[in-house]
Amino acid sequence: MTGKLAALERWVNEAAALARPARVHWCDGSDAEYRELVRQMLASGELLGLNPDTHPGCYLHRSHPSDVARVEHLTYVCTRERDDAGPNNHWLPPAEAHAKMDALFDGCMAGRTMYVVPYCMGPIDSPLARCGVELTDSPYVVANMRIMTRMGEAALARIGREGRFVKGLHSIGELDPERRFIMHFPEELSIKSYGSGYGGNALLGKKCHALRIASWQARAEGWLAEHMLIVGIETPRGDTHYIAAAFPSACGKTNLAMLIPPEGYRRDGWKVWTVGDDICWMRPGADGRLYAINPEAGFFGVAPGTSAASNPNALATVAHDAIFTNVALTADGRPWWDGLPGAPAFDWQGRPYDPANGPAAHPNSRFTVSARQCPTWSPHAEDALGVPLSAIVFGGRRPALLPLVMEARDWTHGVLMGAAMGSETTAAATGAVGVLRRDPMAMKPFCGYHYGDYFAHWLSFDQPGAKLPKVFHVNWFRKDAEGKYLWPGFGDNLRVLEWMIARVEGRLRGRETPVGILPAADELKLDGLDLPPAARHELLALDIPGWRAELAAIGQDLEAYAPRLPDRLRREQQRIAAALAAAAAAQAA
């Protein structure tokens, strides 16, 4: 190789000299290459073919039982200055991290193939897209990267033109939990991951590049890399509003991205268009609006909870040419998890199903599938300049206090809404489930630098001439005194999105409160819902004492990022706290 690809070739040779693979294969991303990878994995038992009549072109992969989720406690951001990584990240000095990882990589690919995977995050011709190269000894990773990214010759050609790329070195190693680390070197635009084959740890284009490294790039280059879905809502008038929404993993991002309108809305002409279900890159356009692309080409979705009732579009998407990971199997070779018809014959570890062994499908079992297979795939998903955003939505699992929907009064308030996000933890990360943790912008596991600097970067977009999206917060998960969900969710979430769109268009006034703008009486269309008056009231109720405690906790949490916490954000928290104090005094009078 010559010219701008010479640096890539040198790095590949250096990595090969360290890991000492039996052979090096440069991936071209072709159909023939994918078929050969699948053939090899079927022969080795790394993949199992599924029922060709019900799921043609589909395969099952079973992880090592210790390797089924992201390992946040073993994930590091390695900057020269510790404060640049921030208290929101685990940190090691780059030299120490490189030495630690290189000792693990030394000879680790002996007898294996090193695959060179050039890929592009984002439409291949988009100026918003960024390229990378992953070196891996896992054919499973290669197959998934082909689905999840624009991988192969076109990406290599773009790298050759630009001369820059993110370097990712990965090995499954021995799959030993004691020898498992994911290191990020944002100043070098490089990643080293060892000891895991799980998607979030091993598909380096995904969380590692598209969020941790990209967030660092985005700050330097004036854009945002966010853990957000992108969905287009087409109104009966034919206008389409694009919305980016941030939720922690396993909190319904894919369901919202593929939302099916309720019957009455469909009859009226409402349509939903899927652009992305997990990651959003956005930057200001020439007209002052924020434009967004989905850097991914596929979905790496959580299988449990996906059903004909919750997300028939996702089921249709994975009906063919998909890779399933850690789901159960029926007797006739179909993938199975809770919510699907039939019964499991084998659990996610391949054992005859026995309820005593736990769930049949792992709670974090996944599907990998091309986004183009989605019935609601947007015709604008590959637009080189992205789609213009009308709204940004934050949300999480909160059983109480947080209303169904509220709107920020301005951009600063919206940034505080995102910074204050809290949610009950889910099975997408190792650790306890159901514990409330603050997860600003749903980026706590993924922000590649100090959260104080990150908040300041968000605030920096509020410039003269900017036409920023309105910012909202939603909570689909509020419960009643008996622990039952108050809101039906799923397709009925469009009712909330309709209110947001009306606010964007200036057609509804809303109701001013100290914590934000809530729907006024009768502004939410609830016809056809079996929603008792008490539930309607509770969903939008304002608990002043509860909110005062919440604002105090938010202020305390934000101070963890001092002295880099923007004073503008601190003042906004104090403004709302003061408004709540005044409201409490008025109530007591």
| Token pair listed for 161 | 């033109």
Answer for the pair 536, 487: CB distance below 8 angstroms, yes or no.
no
What's the distance, Cα to Cα, between the start and end of the chain in Å? Answer: 79
Domain boundary among 513, 528, 544: 544
Share of the chain above pLDDT 70, in %: 98
How far apart, in whole angstroms, are the C-alpha atoms of residue 417 and residue 226? 15
Helix (H) or strand (E) holding 575: helix 567-588
Could you report the per-residue pLDDT of 280-323, keeping only the tens digit for each? Answer: 999 999 999 999 999 999 999 999 989 998 899 999 999 999 99
139, 238: one domain: no
Looking at 251, 280, 374, 447, which residue is catalytic? 251
CATH number for the domain that contains residue 446: 3.90.228.20
Residue written as token pair 């209110």: 499
Give Dmax over CA atoms of the chain in angstroms.
79
pTM for this model (two decimals): 0.96
429, 288: one domain: yes
How far apart, in whole angstroms, are the C-alpha atoms of residue 329 and residue 348? 8
Residue 23: inside a domain, yes or no? yes
Residue 572: inside a domain, yes or no? no
Could you report the per-residue pLDDT of 31-73, keeping only the tens digit for each? Answer: 999 999 999 999 999 999 999 999 999 999 999 999 998 888 9
420, 510: one domain: yes
Residue 141: inside a domain, yes or no? yes
Average pLDDT, the chain: 96
How far apart, in whole angstroms, are the C-alpha atoms of residue 311 and residue 299? 14
| Token pair listed for 48 | 């199992």
Q: What is the pLDDT of residue 3?
A: 75
Domain boundary among 222, 251, 270: 222
Q: What is the pLDDT of residue 424?
A: 74
Residue 575: inside a domain, yes or no? no
Statement: residue 383 has pLDDT above 60: yes
Q: Domain count of the chain?
A: 2
170, 232: one domain: no
Answer for the pair 210, 224: CB distance below 8 angstroms, yes or no.
no
Distance of CA 12 to the CA centre of its chain: 29
Answer for the pair 502, 510: CB distance below 8 angstroms, yes or no.
no
252 pLDDT band (50/70/90 cuts)?
Answer: confident
Statement: residue 427 has pLDDT above 90: no
Statement: residue 430 has pLDDT above 70: no
Residue 96: inside a domain, yes or no? yes
Nearest CA to 477 out of 560, 551, 538 is that of 538
Statement: residue 425 has pLDDT above 80: no
Statement: residue 4 has pLDDT above 90: no
Which backbone phi and psi does 31 adopt, to 5 degrees? Answer: -60, -40
Pair type for strands 405-407 and 387-395: unpaired
Which residue range forms the structural domain that includes residue 421? Answer: 226-298+378-544
Q: What is the pLDDT of residue 434?
A: 65
193, 256: one domain: no
198, 123: one domain: yes
Helix (H, G, I), strand (E, B) or coil at 109: coil
Kindly give, in sequence order, each residue whose CB lies less than 8 Å from that of residue 382, ignoring residues fewer than 6 positions away.
123
Could you report the per-residue pLDDT of 459-484, keeping only the tens digit for each? Answer: 999 999 999 999 999 999 999 999 99
282, 166: one domain: no
Could you report the per-residue pLDDT of 65-116, keeping only the tens digit for each? Answer: 999 988 889 999 999 999 999 999 999 999 999 999 999 999 999 999 999 9
273, 199: one domain: no
139, 38: one domain: yes
Nearest CA to 59 out of 75, 68, 46 is that of 46
Statement: residue 167 has pLDDT above 70: yes
CATH number for the domain that contains residue 25: 3.40.449.10
192, 231: one domain: no
Domain boundary among 222, 242, 265: 222
Statement: residue 372 has pLDDT above 70: yes
Could you report the per-residue pLDDT of 185-243, keeping only the tens digit for each? Answer: 999 999 999 999 999 899 999 999 999 999 999 999 999 999 999 999 999 999 999 99
Helix (H, G, I), strand (E, B) or coil at 488: coil
Residue 251 annotated as catalytic: yes
Could you report the per-residue pLDDT of 318-365, keeping only the tens digit for each? Answer: 999 999 999 999 999 999 999 999 999 999 999 999 999 999 999 999
191, 130: one domain: yes
Rg (CA), the chain: 24
Share of the chain above pLDDT 90, in %: 93
Residue 588: inside a domain, yes or no? no
Residue 307: inside a domain, yes or no? no
208, 239: one domain: no
How far apart, in whole angstroms, are the C-alpha atoms of residue 222 and residue 533? 47
